[in-house]
Amino acid sequence: MILSVTHTTLYRYDVPVRGVVQSHRLTPASFATQRPLRWQVSVSDGIPGGSFRDGAGDWIQGYSVAGPVSEITVHVEGEVETEDCAGVLRGHRETVPPIVYLRRTDATRADSALKTLGREAVSGGADTLDQAHRLMGAVADAILYRPGATHAATTAAEALELGEGVCQDHAHAMIAAARSTGLPARYVSGYLMAADAGTRHEAAHAWAEIWVDGLGAWVGFDPANRCCPDDRYIRLGSGLDARDAAPIRGTARGTGGESLDVTVAIQAVQQ
C-alpha cells in the first residue's frame, strides 16, 4: 500500500521568544516492509543543524529558529510504501542491543498492579510471542480507549489505575508490564490510517515493540487497536517511552506560554 501523509504542527508563543532549537525524529526509516517514496520536512524560518542516524536506527535532524518569533510551523509531507508483515520489524538498521530496553523510566515504572498484570498475562504463554500477544490483550482489557481521559505526563501506573487512556497510555502500560517480566520493550511513534469508521485511534499514533528471541526480531503490538502493526502503519521512531521517542523535541528561549496545534491526515494513494 502507498500511504500519503500530511502533518502540520503549529507552535504559538504568548510573548515572542528569543529563539527556538528543535530536534526532529520525523523521517521514516527504510526497511523490509516500509519504503519512503518522497518525504519533506520544513520549518518556518528554520535553519537546519546537525543530523545523524542514532543507535536505534532513527534519523535525527536539528533545526534552530532565530527570534524574536511568535509562531513556528513544522510541516511534514510525503508518501511511504508499506507491506503487512504481522508487526515483525525486519531489515531495520540499529546497533543498540535489546537488553537496553529493560531500563525503566518514570513513565514506564511498574507498580504492583502492572507487575501483577504482566505476570498473570505471560503465565499461560507457550513462548515469548504468545506471551506478548497475551500482554497486549490484557492491557487492552484493562485500559479503555478514551481520548481526553489522560494527559502527556500520565504514567503507565496512573493510566492503569484510572482504567482509561489513549494510545500513549496503552503503549506505556504494555512496556511497563513487559519489562517487569523480563521482556525488552520499547515505545514507537508513527502514523496510522483508519481502515474503517470503527477503528479507534488518532492518525499520529503510538504502539509498543517487544523483542522476541525466537524470531530474533522486534515485533510491534498496538493494544489500542488489539492488533500488530500492518500496512496501515508508518513507523517514525522508537525510544524508552513517549518522551524519548517524541517526533519533535525542543526548547524555546523566553518566559511566555506556549500553545500547540497539530493536524495529521493519512490516506491511501494506491492499494
Give per-residue pLDDT as tens, 111-150.
Answer: 999 999 999 999 988 899 999 999 999 999 999 999 999 9
pLDDT tens for 214-242 read 999 999 999 999 999 999 999 999 999 99
Q: Between β-strands 204-212 and 144-145, what pairing exists: parallel, antiparallel or unpaired?
A: unpaired
From 2.60.40.10, 2.10.109.10, 3.30.70.960, 2.60.40.2250, which CATH number describes the 2-81+247-270 domain?
Answer: 2.60.40.2250
The DSSP code sequence of the chain is: -EEEEEEEEEEEEEEEEEEEEEEEEEEPPPBTTEEEEEEEEEETT-EEEEEEE-TTS-EEEEEEEEEEEEEEEEEEEEEEEE---TTEE-S----S-GGGGG---STT---HHHHHHHHHHHTT-SSHHHHHHHHHHHHHHHSEE-TTSS-TT--HHHHHHHTEE-HHHHHHHHHHHHHHTT--EEEEEEEE--SSTT----SEEEEEEEEETTTTEEEEEBTTTTB---TTEEEEEEESSTTTT-SEEEEEESSS-EEEEEEEEEEEEE-
pLDDT tens for 74-102 read 999 999 999 999 999 999 999 999 999 99
> What's the pLDDT score for residue 198?
46
Please state the pTM of the whole predicted model.
Answer: 0.94
Percent of the chain whose predicted confidence (pLDDT) is above 70 = 96
> What's the pLDDT score for residue 47?
96
Which CATH number is associated with domain 85-239?
Answer: 3.10.620.30
> What's the pLDDT score for residue 203?
76
- Domain positions in the chain are 2-81+247-270, 85-239
Residue 248: φ, ψ to 5°? -130, 125
> What's the pLDDT score for residue 255?
83
